[in-house]
């Protein structure tokens, strides 16, 4: 919104809401627009120069596949005509698996009852408990001596955060978690139906690599060590969701039973020059013309930290490239050159 609002009046900007984009339209291998659904209406939008897909790490590979960009044999099974063979579409899915503990506290100093009419009013004025993002303390940690960079990130939430925060906290408390920063395991987003409203099949394969589990176990043990010492120890009333002990077997059982995403999926349309790369260094999709993917799906691997700012940085960078490109294309008489095939 901070990008759109200042330019909302521009005559060359149109925002269409409630449209589910179903495919990129091609003339040969050149992207010329997109098709979308608004309820039962099929809408078509034409692009004079380029189409930029930014559906995120789950949806961008789905949209490319639905548009005929992917693995030939899978497209044939889905009965989607092939536009360009790109074997890496939907592969290389990576994310930060997160495992935490929750503890109830003595007293009422948490965000348990923070959401009500009064606090909403305070928030509209820029203050009150809702003006925090909830994650008030963080940290980075090397789980093994000699590691050059941290492999675990801590998040402390001043409420009992369980079940992805979808249920109201039952008591006053806090949550402390460790996420694995550079997971080795890779998953996949697979399109299972040519119907664009069918969700893709998402397999994360969390802890599929031994090192990922090792980092999680060591990170969780450190979490318990932090909670057991001052100043948290004095605040703690008791465990709400925690492993039975800090023995490896109990930590692993807790991880396998309670680990969840920390919502940082990336990598399914990865940037690079290897055979599984989907976009080049300017986010242009290989094998076709006038099509870019600009979102977290192009990150070759998940950054060692949160993903929102890197995604914004990527988008700003590509916006600059597009602006320069527009000037180049105008000079070339409107012809958009294709990137080299990986």
Ligand X SMILES: Cc1cc2nc3c(=O)[nH]c(=O)nc-3n(C[C@H](O)[C@H](O)[C@H](O)COP(=O)(O)OP(=O)(O)OC[C@H]3O[C@@H](n4cnc5c(N)ncnc54)[C@H](O)[C@@H]3O)c2cc1C
Q: Which residues participate in catalysis according to the annotation?
A: 264
- Nearest distance from residue 32's CB to ligand X, in Å? 18
- Nearest distance from residue 17's CB to ligand X, in Å? 10
Q: Which of 105, 227, 278, 296 lies at the binding interface for ligand X (CB under 6 A)?
A: 296
Token output for 218: 């060591």
- Residue 322 DSSP SS3: helix
- DSSP E strands, the chain: 20-27, 30-38, 41-46, 51-53, 69-70, 84-85, 97-105, 135-141, 152-157, 173-180, 188-190, 201-203, 236-241, 260-261, 291-293
Q: Which of 186, 240, 264, 325 lies at the binding interface for ligand X (CB under 6 A)?
A: 264
- Check binding of 21 to ligand X (CB under 6 A): yes
- CA distances 175 to 41, 132, 145, 227, 263, Å, are 45, 15, 26, 10, 17
- Nearest distance from residue 311's CB to ligand X, in Å? 4
- Check binding of 51 to ligand X (CB under 6 A): no
Q: Identify the burial level of 307 via C-beta atoms within 10 angstroms of its C-beta, where 0-12 means exposed, 13-18 middle and 19 or more buried.
A: buried
Which range binds ligand X by CB under 6 A, 49-57, 143-151, 166-174, 246-254? 49-57
Q: Which of 72, 233, 308, 330 lies at the binding interface for ligand X (CB under 6 A)?
A: 308
- Nearest distance from residue 76's CB to ligand X, in Å? 23
Rounded-to-integer distance, Cα 267 and Cα 57, Å: 7
- Check binding of 67 to ligand X (CB under 6 A): no
- Check binding of 201 to ligand X (CB under 6 A): no
Rounded-to-integer distance, Cα 64 and Cα 22, Å: 10
Which range binds ligand X by CB under 6 A, 169-177, 251-259, 275-283, 305-313? 305-313
For 72, other C-beta atoms within 10 Å of its C-beta total: 13
- Check binding of 56 to ligand X (CB under 6 A): yes
CA 25 remoteness from chain centre: 26
Closer to ligand X by CB, 55 or 239: give it. Answer: 55
Measured between its terminal Cα atoms, the distance across the chain in Å is 35
83: Cβ–Cβ under 8 A, 6 or more apart, which residues?
26, 29, 67, 68, 69, 287, 288
Rounded-to-integer distance, Cα 166 and Cα 169, Å: 9
- Nearest distance from residue 43's CB to ligand X, in Å? 11
Which range binds ligand X by CB under 6 A, 8-16, 113-121, 124-132, 301-309? 301-309
Which range binds ligand X by CB under 6 A, 4-12, 54-62, 118-126, 211-219? 54-62
- Check binding of 63 to ligand X (CB under 6 A): yes
Q: Which of 16, 20, 199, 256 lies at the binding interface for ligand X (CB under 6 A)?
A: 20
- Nearest distance from residue 107's CB to ligand X, in Å? 27
Which range binds ligand X by CB under 6 A, 24-32, 50-58, 166-174, 331-339? 50-58
- CA distances 189 to 58, 95, 186, 200, 286, Å, are 6, 12, 10, 6, 19
- Check binding of 186 to ligand X (CB under 6 A): no
- Nearest distance from residue 60's CB to ligand X, in Å? 7
Q: Which of 83, 88, 102 is nearest to 26 (CA)?
A: 83
Residues of the shown chain interacting with ligand X in the complex, contacts defined by CB under 6 A: 20-21, 54-57, 59, 63, 263-264, 295-296, 306-309, 311
């Amino acid at each position: 919104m901070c990008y759109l609002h200042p330019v909302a009046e521009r005559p060359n900007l149109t925002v269409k809401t409630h449209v589910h984009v179903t495919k990129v339209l091609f003339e040969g291998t050149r992207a010329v627009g997109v098709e979308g659904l608004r309820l039962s209406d099929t809408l078509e939008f034409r692009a004079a120069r380029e189409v930029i897909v930014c559906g995120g790490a789950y949806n961008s590979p789905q949209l490319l596949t639905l548009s005929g960009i992917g693995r030939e044999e899978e497209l044939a099974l889905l009965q989607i005509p092939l536009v360009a063979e790109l074997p890496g579409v939907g592969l290389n899915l990576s994310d930060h698996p997160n495992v935490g503990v929750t503890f109830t506290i003595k007293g009422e100093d948490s965000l348990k009852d923070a959401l009500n009419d009064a606090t909403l009013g305070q928030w509209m004025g820029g203050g009150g408990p809702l003006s925090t993002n909830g994650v008030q303390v963080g940290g980075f940690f090397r789980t093994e001596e000699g590691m050059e960079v941290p492999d675990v990130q801590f998040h402390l939430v001043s409420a009992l955060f369980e079940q992805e925060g979808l249920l109201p906290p039952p008591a006053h408390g806090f949550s402390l978690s460790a996420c694995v920063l550079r997971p080795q395991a890779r998953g996949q987003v697979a399109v299972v139906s040519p119907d664009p409203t069918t969700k893709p099949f998402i397999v994360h394969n969390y802890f599929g690599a031994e090192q990922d589990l090792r980092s999680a176990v060591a990170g969780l043990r450190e979490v318990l060590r932090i909670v057991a010492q001052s100043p948290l120890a004095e605040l703690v009333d008791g465990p709400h969701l925690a492993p039975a002990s800090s023995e490896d077997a109990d930590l692993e059982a807790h991880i396998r039973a309670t680990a969840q995403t920390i919502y940082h999926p990336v990598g399914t349309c990865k940037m690079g020059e290897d055979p599984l790369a989907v976009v080049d260094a300017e986010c242009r999709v290989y094998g076709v013309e006038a099509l870019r993917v600009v979102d977290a799906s192009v990150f070759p691997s998940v950054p060692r930290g949160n993903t929102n700012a890197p995604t914004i940085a990527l988008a700003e960078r590509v916006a600059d490239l597009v602006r320069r490109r527009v000037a180049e294309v105008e000079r070339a008489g409107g012809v958009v050159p294709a990137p080299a095939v990986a």
